[in-house]
Chain A
């Protein structure tokens, strides 16, 4: 015991004094920590509400209030205009030894990228919680508190992810949002589809998480630190270290990419997102449109210097993003469930963001994240209002003319605004952010980036088409509706009296949130004209934000590094149809968006029978028959995954189960246990109940042993025993 104490004392003495940079950084803003603690407090209080079976809307108000505080504090932080700084909440992991250390404190790293992300995470979080207070009404007293606890947990994790000052905190948040999304997707846990979707989201995300864990390990083992400020100091030191050519540094971006593709639903791992629509709609809006899925984009933007060290990785990012955008858009075109259409459009828009990252416009990607968060939240929330009002009806063929129904005007017009932004209609926020990405695809030099650019323009056309397909079908046209089959709560039964269904129009909370977020979606175009301290890049405030952060497109250190040849120099400026891409793209994307919009109005509003005629014409031709079928069946991706991944895994699982059950358990474990029993059964007849026979056996045994000992003694001593 004394030894151990001495040993400990020696270790403590041997530890070097904490470096000056590690001393608690008191920035004077004591309230910054509350951005993170508010959702945590709300989580605890909602948990208490659930435990006490509170039968009111109290949990919703707690959550809305605490998230609003977080948002206000974030705004304060944004207006203080601080340089990148660290704020330490408390010491978490602090291990030093000779020649190394592992430091991960519970601290914030606040730069403009953080503030950009935080502004919509907390702002939309608060608004969506307010929306959910009305949306989840039928569950008051049942799952209500559980739902809001989940929302709080999710925001706590997301804030950790975005504000964390090191990769370990990012990892904490990363796993936290994964868990919270499992919690919320599986909210309707009696529904088998919801449970399956929750499991699918969690498991698919685990694949990405593996990449993140390995990347963090490689970063630590190569650079000896996982704190952003130290990593950036090393990478921006102006010297190109030979270690950058090592496989480990080159592998980091690919691992980070895997993580980002999992969380942000990109090509190999996107399948969880459409299924995640089984959760309540506010969850879809919050997690699967506005915040969680942007974590992947954030990760790549934050770790951008690592990607610039391995420029080929950015080509992969660009191609995966472009292909995902196109694939998801084609699937979205042919779906009938409006929530699912918007789910695919989320995947498609995320594809754009990755395309932006890949073609070296982190600004474009970040701006698209920002605008997308607003308009996609609006679209999902209007979907939710429709679902809520029409008893779960989401089939766009079964609802029509919503804007002429009583009480639905706000929903249909806010949806219109969201659709305009998503379609990239000129002068809306989505238009500017999408242009930034599309133009850059022609500016940057990379393998097939020109093709990628045209593909992205075609995707923009499809986006405009499928977006307005929804709006024209649901909100315009003749007034007609069929209710869905979800009759939960008494107020819906009251709505169906007399055999006629009366939709249940949204009330104050939902309408106000829709109006606020729609206004946000429109106003998100304003930053494009504000600020702009950085030359030769349009994009105003967001561009400034990105340029001040770690996501700046500068290449660390080495001016002759291949990545710097990709971009930046005016001599390499690409062109499109002989014009400067940034200028040309305004016209091209406006035309493309307008065309898609007109096509949607033609096929789905003015002459709806033409859409059916087109479909039957396609189906009747042998060469085109596969197209609508494949698109409606989501290109059979789920089926392919099922056949090539799930089925073999299922088979392996059963084989291993059989091996475990019959060989390990049956033969080894049970077999070993059965052996003594078998042996015992051989001698069992000896115990026959006759006392004398026992005595004879015992005496006989003793005699036998004595004789044996005698014989052995004689054998070993050669009979020389006297």
Chain B
């Protein structure tokens, strides 16, 4: 499967959106891999989330199907709830260790 990049730059095609979404996802992923701050890591996951949502909207628009947009609304709602939960957890973790460094929780392992 290859991406067909539009020859005219005047028109914004599906490919633009998909590439944008992919870039956004990679930014989030790389951020998640490299940073140690819990809040930043959480923000990175949100970034990946939004990348997926952009893809949804783009595909929905492409096929003239509103399911994509409906999904986005739902996912955003869930994401908001999840964000509240995750931030609450981060606050609790910060209270325990007095820092936001993910490495402070290294001992939570089996092997």
B1 touches A689 (CB 8 A): no
B108 touches A689 (CB 8 A): yes
Q: Tell yes or no: A82 within 8 A of B by CB.
A: no
The residue in chain B whose Cβ has the minimal distance to the Cβ of A680 is: B110
Q: Tell yes or no: A688 within 8 A of B by CB.
A: yes
- The 3 A-B residue pairs with the shortest CB-CB distance, nearest first, are A689-B109, A685-B111, A684-B111
The residue in chain A whose Cβ has the minimal distance to the Cβ of B103 is: A690
Contact for A684 among B41, B103, B110, CB less than 8 A: B110
Known contacts A689-B106, A691-B102, A692-B32; 19 further A-B pairs (Cβ under 8 A): A684-B110, A685-B111, A687-B109, A687-B110, A688-B106, A689-B107, A689-B108, A689-B109, A690-B102, A690-B106, A691-B41, A692-B34, A692-B102, A695-B29, A695-B32, A696-B33, A699-B29, A710-B1, A721-B1
The residue in chain B whose Cβ has the minimal distance to the Cβ of A688 is: B109
Q: Tell yes or no: B105 within 8 A of A by CB.
A: yes
Interface residues of A in 662-718 (CB under 8 A from B): 684-692, 695-696, 699, 710
The residue in chain A whose Cβ has the minimal distance to the Cβ of B102 is: A691
Known: A689-B108, A689-B109. A695 touches B33 (CB 8 A): yes
Chain B residues engaging chain A, CB cutoff 8 angstroms? 1, 29, 32-34, 41, 102-103, 105-111
Tell me, rounded to whole Å, the shortest Cβ–Cβ distance linking A554 to chain B. 86
Residues in B with CB closer than 8 Å to A686 are 111
Cα A690 to Cα B101 in complex, Å, equals 11
Interface residues of A in 147-204 (CB under 8 A from B): none
B33 touches A689 (CB 8 A): no
Residues in B with CB closer than 8 Å to A721 are 1
- The prevalent SS among residues of A at the interface is helix
The interface on chain A, measured as residues whose beta carbon lies within 8 A of the other chain's beta carbons, has a size of 15
Most buried by B among A688, A692, A699, A721: A692
Residues in B with CB closer than 8 Å to A688 are 106, 109, 111
Residues in A with CB closer than 8 Å to B102 are 690-692
A-B residue pairs in contact (CB < 8 Å), sample of 25: A684-B110, A685-B111, A686-B111, A687-B109, A687-B110, A687-B111, A688-B106, A688-B109, A688-B111, A689-B105, A689-B106, A689-B107, A689-B109, A690-B102, A690-B103, A690-B106, A691-B41, A691-B105, A692-B33, A692-B34, A692-B102, A695-B33, A699-B29, A721-B1, A722-B1
Cα A689 to Cα B107 in complex, Å, equals 6
The residue in chain B whose Cβ has the minimal distance to the Cβ of A710 is: B1
Most buried by A among B32, B103, B106, B111: B111
Most buried by B among A685, A687, A689, A690: A689
Tell me, rounded to whole Å, the shortest Cβ–Cβ distance linking B8 to chain A. 22
Tell me, rounded to whole Å, the shortest Cβ–Cβ distance linking B90 to chain A. 12
Cα A684 to Cα B34 in complex, Å, equals 24
Interface residues of A in 27-78 (CB under 8 A from B): none
Residues in B with CB closer than 8 Å to A696 are 33
Cα A695 to Cα B109 in complex, Å, equals 15
Tell me, rounded to whole Å, the shortest Cβ–Cβ distance linking A93 to chain B. 62
Residues in A with CB closer than 8 Å to B105 are 689, 691
The residue in chain A whose Cβ has the minimal distance to the Cβ of B34 is: A692
Residues in B with CB closer than 8 Å to A722 are 1
Tell me, rounded to whole Å, the shortest Cβ–Cβ distance linking B96 to chain A. 15
Cα A697 to Cα B44 in complex, Å, equals 17
Residues in A with CB closer than 8 Å to B34 are 692
Residues in B with CB closer than 8 Å to A689 are 105-109
Cα A684 to Cα B107 in complex, Å, equals 14
Residues in B with CB closer than 8 Å to A687 are 109-111
The residue in chain B whose Cβ has the minimal distance to the Cβ of A689 is: B109
Residues in B with CB closer than 8 Å to A684 are 110-111
Cα A686 to Cα B109 in complex, Å, equals 9
Tell me, rounded to whole Å, the shortest Cβ–Cβ distance linking B62 to chain A. 17
Cα A710 to Cα B1 in complex, Å, equals 9
Tell me, rounded to whole Å, the shortest Cβ–Cβ distance linking A435 to chain B. 90
Tell me, rounded to whole Å, the shortest Cβ–Cβ distance linking B76 to chain A. 23
Tell me, rounded to whole Å, the shortest Cβ–Cβ distance linking B111 to chain A. 4
Most buried by A among B33, B34, B41: B33
